[in-house]
Amino acid sequence: GLTAAGAPDAARAHHQERLAHSGPFPTTTGGFTVQALGRGRFLDDIDIKFKIKGHGSEVAHVRDPSDVLVARLTFQSGGSVGWHTHHGPVIVTVASGELTLIDGDTCERRLYPAGTAFVDLGQGHVHLAFNGTAGETVAYATFLDVPVGQPATLPASNPGCNP
């Protein structure tokens, strides 16, 4: 079994398995569709704070995430959202296929296969999402703090990551 001292090493090894170490990424946007499944507003006063461990303690604090959008994202092979950010945090669950995410701050590439989930902090955090597999990838996203009449995804420039 694992000892307490071995647990961080095991966690690091597990983390490394989710990283893709090489390969190009799409430089054009397209090959994906977004189907809005529902939009709602919290009736209660909500205050949400996300802290992602292992990423330098990145935190997103949303004092009024009232406007929520839930959508189905379908990526064809090679399909890419392009470099972008969001108004607020996004909770993403990959239902089928595999989604690759490149962090704009570190240029780190992470793979999210079917059955995994992640939180994107939004609020200006730039990243790239694409399907690097030969098949279709489907994910479900819950976007927090999307103002009515505004898009859930805001295009951004490549922050300096090389394909």
* pLDDT recorded at residue 54: 65
Do 141 and 153 form a contact (C-beta atoms < 8 A)?
no
Separation between Cα atoms, residue 88 and residue 114, nearest integer Å: 24
* pLDDT tens string 127-160: 999 999 999 999 999 999 888 888 899 999 999 9
- Percent of the chain whose pLDDT exceeds 90: 50
Six-digit token pair at 16? 């490394």
Q: Give the model's confidence band at 13: pLDDT under 50 very low, under 70 low, under 90 confident, else very high.
A: very low
Instruction: Please state, rounded to an integer, the average pLDDT across all residues of the chain.
Output: 82
Helix, strand, coil share of the chain (percent; to 5) = 5, 50, 45
Residue 94 has pLDDT above 80, yes or no: yes
